[in-house]
Amino acid sequence: MSEMVYELSAVSRTYRTGSALIEAVKSVDLAIDGPGLVVIQGRSGSGKSTLLQMMGGLDRPDSGEIRFQGNDLARLREGKLTQLRRLAFGFVFQAFNLIPTLSAAENVEAAAAPTGGGSSERRRLIARLLDEVGLTSRARHLPSRLSGGEQQRVAIARALVNNPSVLLADEPTGNLDSRTSAEIISLLSRLSAERDLTVVVVTHDPAVAAQATRRLAMEDGHLAEIPFTSPLAGEVGFPSPLAGEGDPAA
Ligand SMILES: Nc1ncnc2c1ncn2[C@@H]1O[C@H](COP(=O)(O)OP(=O)(O)OP(=O)(O)O)[C@@H](O)[C@H]1O
Ligand SMILES: [Mg+2]
């Protein structure tokens, strides 16, 4: 069996709306061989979310393979895919998506898969997760009483509750100011190191890239590596290796 976390080969996804075809992801190859913070940059409409959703088993490619832990997500039957979505992948979104009537701790608990463990064991797990994301003192607060950064920390704790091997984050700092964004990315980077977690972050924000262990650029459905040419590369904008290709019209 492969030791890779992910092996994508020739992954393509075309949306059909009426008679129009939109090739959102075009023959993407990608190998991720271990834990780290992988950042995928690229402008709006370049296919970043489409790719991330396929990597998390939320959508399937039209062609190509997505190998994950010995499975091809493109061809896995629905029941097994659902199980992976619950247990192997954690998802974090721009809009936090917390349940407004539940406290921080209850939001985390609501996502926990049944383990057969007792309720005190479960309470200890939730407390440990909230501590891990720096929110112990906010455990009983409703989302409306939390800042955006704090809400995103709850969402990250929730994403970790079933101890996934991959965290997939789509614009996790899109609703946050630059300082809070940097704190959230630092947290993801620390979690990646401490938990041997593969974290894939999709972002528009070039500052996020400064903390990445690996950077990729999505442009018009194609994915390419961004080499670390200088230590400041992440802070000076978006060094596109594919410059010159057509701009998306939308
Ligand atoms: N469900 C859908 N049906 C039809 N077209 C879609 C659908 N989802 C995305 N698209 C199209 O596919 C292309 C890629 O979209 P995608 O959402 O993956 O881009 P993105 O890089 O995540 O953009 P953004 O940075 O704005 O979130 C776009 O042209 C978009 O309009
Ligand atoms: Mg998107």
Question: For the segment 8-62, what is each residue's pLDDT rounded down to a tens digit?
Answer: 999 999 999 999 999 999 999 999 999 999 999 999 999 999 999 999 999 999 9
For ligand 2, the distance from its centroid to the CA atom of residue 49, given in whole angstroms, is 4
Atom of ligand 1 nearest to the CA of 42: 21
Note whether residue 243 is domain-resident: no
Note whether residue 241 is domain-resident: no
Whose CA is closest to atom 31 on ligand 1? 45
Note whether residue 244 is domain-resident: no
| pLDDT of 107 over the 60 cut | yes
Rounded to whole angstroms, the Cα distance separating 218 from 42 reads: 5
For ligand 1, the distance from its centroid to the CA atom of residue 51, given in whole angstroms, is 10
Atom of ligand 1 nearest to the CA of 17: 4
For ligand 2, the distance from its centroid to the CA atom of residue 217, given in whole angstroms, is 13
Q: Per residue in 145-172, pLDDT tens?
A: 999 999 999 999 999 999 999 999 999 9
Whose CA is closest to atom 3 on ligand 1? 15
Q: Per residue in 62-77, pLDDT tens?
A: 999 999 988 999 999 9
User: What pTM was estimated for this model as a whole?
Assistant: 0.90
Residue 164, domain CATH: 3.40.50.300
Q: What's the pLDDT score for residue 229?
A: 66
For ligand 2, the distance from its centroid to the CA atom of residue 218, given in whole angstroms, is 11
Note whether residue 17 is domain-resident: no
Q: Ligand 1: which residues within 6 Å by Cβ?
A: 15, 17, 22, 24, 42, 44-50, 204, 250
Number of domains within the chain: 1
| pLDDT of 238 over the 50 cut | no
Radius of gyration for the chain, computed over Cα atoms and rounded to the nearest angstrom: 18
Note whether residue 123 is domain-resident: yes
Note whether residue 11 is domain-resident: no
